[in-house]
Amino acid sequence: MGLRIHFVVDPHGWCCMGLIVFVWLYNIILIPKIVLFPHYEEGHIPGILIIIFYGIAIFCLVALVRASITDPGRLPENPKIPHGERELWELCNKCNLMRPKRSHHCSRCGHCVRRMDHHCPWINNCVGEDNHWLFLQLCFYTELLTCYALMFSFCHYYYFLPLKKHNLDLFVFRHELAIMRLAAFMGITMLVGITGLFYTQLIGIITDTTSIEKMSHCCEETSRPRKPWQQTFSEVFGTRWKILWFIPFRQRQPLRVPYHFANHV
């Protein structure tokens, strides 16, 4: 399956995504400049910690960009419905087009999306069947990067040895306290928000329920069999290889794994 680019024209989404990019750049530029590189030069931390920091930051940015531009599962205007699956399709009452069940019409994008979870302004895109895995990676690496930055900010003042060299001619060192306080405020705010979002996403995948289904109470839990969590995650990420669940550089392939479960009364 080739990569399908999906670009949503929404100024509100552009502003939200621009804010995310600003926070990313703020941390990726100033935290190493004030904390990592000075402490590395004085031998307080090993260089591998800097490599890990930039590695997490790159994975976070790739997940953000790909989640934003990847087609979430937009349905074509004239879909080809397999003859044996007609009972699994329904008519959308907004665009009057046939769609698979569990699809949803996004009023902001103006089309139906397969297994749509929600429309996220922070990536300026819907979260659907084809980019849900990237959204999960974005949540994971954002939380990891935020924790990493907050940890170094704390250690800089309360754990590491004081720096011997300070170049007060540089703006970042003259206003270090204000810069680090702003970084801590943004980090704590983002950590609280992303933790709650990531938790609800994980619960939704484990229970095989989208956010829209939770809000509309139409998940049909009594009629739909419960799947093992390994299968629901494998279907979202498109692979059963768990190590690949953390790689944002690959291509996702649709996966439908047969499963068996026993219903004990």
Write out the catalytic residue numbers. 120
- Which helix (DSSP H) or strand (DSSP E) does residue 157 occupy? helix 132-158
Rounded Cα distance, 113 and 100, in Å:
9
The number of helix segments (H) and strand segments (E) in the chain equals 8, 6
* Cβ contact 71:6 at 8 Å: yes
Rounded Cα distance, 256 and 239, in Å:
9
- Which helix (DSSP H) or strand (DSSP E) does residue 127 occupy? strand 125-127
Q: Which two tokens stand for residue 238?
A: 């498109």
